[in-house]
Structure 1
């Protein structure tokens, strides 16, 4: 995976005024879901975990990937629709290529190159694009899992007001975590995304 120090262009950062407009439009369209959400809708925090070895330099290379904005904009139905759009566009527009083939290493986390990327590269790109849309970075959590065949995989967990949803390069669908069939291992800590936490639970 190629290294890049590129941040998010200023034009992609949503101002407080624009966030307020987004919220009011969402209310006007009646697209926000109100009501209690069961705790099981969210992945559990089972304590601090070590950062995946291939992601150790992630925060220094992409500060936005580990930042926390405190953005209070609701992350509900409208945001889920946007997440599906982003996932579909990235999945269909980014060629799949392994780290071994592209970088001659087993695992390397970075944004996709012109040649494409693998699962964690696409998850990182989706996180970047959703942050640029105004979604708080601490709601977008890079996560390691075992897929339905027991193989190592990486996804982006979107922590919404409705629960945790999985944004995945293996499908355009954005699914609740407990409907994926994945075993969740570690993910970024929502309170401090530069840290990681153990999840260790089956979806």
Structure 2
């Protein structure tokens, strides 16, 4: 079993504590589980990705399937997140494809949703249940959308970002 260096865990713990403290100070919910409401529309880029990659999108998984987060799975999650983040160069779809929105598996470069697709694929190929790996599009303060991977675990919902 491979363990994350103490420094990495300390940084992650500090970020988690800071996020919880900030939420508590604002009077917001401090639950480690994301609150979701209502239905949303599939992003057009994901729809087009599914047309090009029908096998990847053919799997219908039970949603909210939480992973029992062990030390081994935690280390795998940290390793995959770090590996993808360090191996893919950030480039906008406009610069890469001449279009504002293209969802693809990146090989050398890509933007936020490309990182998410690759992390999700590697985790699923490693045995993580697809229903616990949610592509999540969030709205930034600027109003722009940003894709992250939400990993549902028994210890809380974890966000993998680039």
Q: Same-fold call, TM > 0.5?
A: yes
Partner of residue 122 from structure 1, selected from 110, 115, 119: 115
Q: Summarize the Cα distance change of 1:73–1:51 in structure 2 as closer, same or farther, 3 Å threshold.
A: closer
1:103 equivalent to 2:97? Answer yes
**Separation of aligned partners in 2, 1:99 and 1:146:** 18
Partner residue of 1:51?
42
Partner of residue 63 from structure 1, selected from 50, 55, 64: 55
User: What SS does the corresponding residue of 1:158 show, helix, strand or coil?
Assistant: strand
Note the C-alpha offset of 1:66.
6.0
User: What SS does the corresponding residue of 1:43 show, helix, strand or coil?
Assistant: coil
- Tell me, yes or no, if the aligned pair for 1:75 and 1:135 is still in contact at 8 Å: no
Partner residue of 2:157?
164
Structure (1 or 2) with the greater helix fraction: 2
Structure (1 or 2) with the greater strand fraction: 1
TM-score w.r.t. length of structure 2: 0.69
For the aligned residue pairs, the C-alpha RMSD in angstroms reads 2.6
**Separation of aligned partners in 1, 2:70 and 2:140:** 26
Alignment of 1:1-203 (within 5 A): 40-60=31-51, 61=53, 63-64=55-56, 67-68=59-60, 74-114=68-108, 116-147=109-140, 150-169=143-162
Which runs of 5 or more structure 1 residues have no equivalent in the other structure? 1-37, 170-203
**Separation of aligned partners in 2, 1:165 and 1:98:** 25
TM-score w.r.t. length of structure 1: 0.57
**Separation of aligned partners in 1, 2:67 and 2:152:** 12
Provide, for residues 83-108 of structure 1, a one-character-per-residue CA deviation record: whole Å limited to 9, x for no partner.
Answer: 11101111111111110011111111
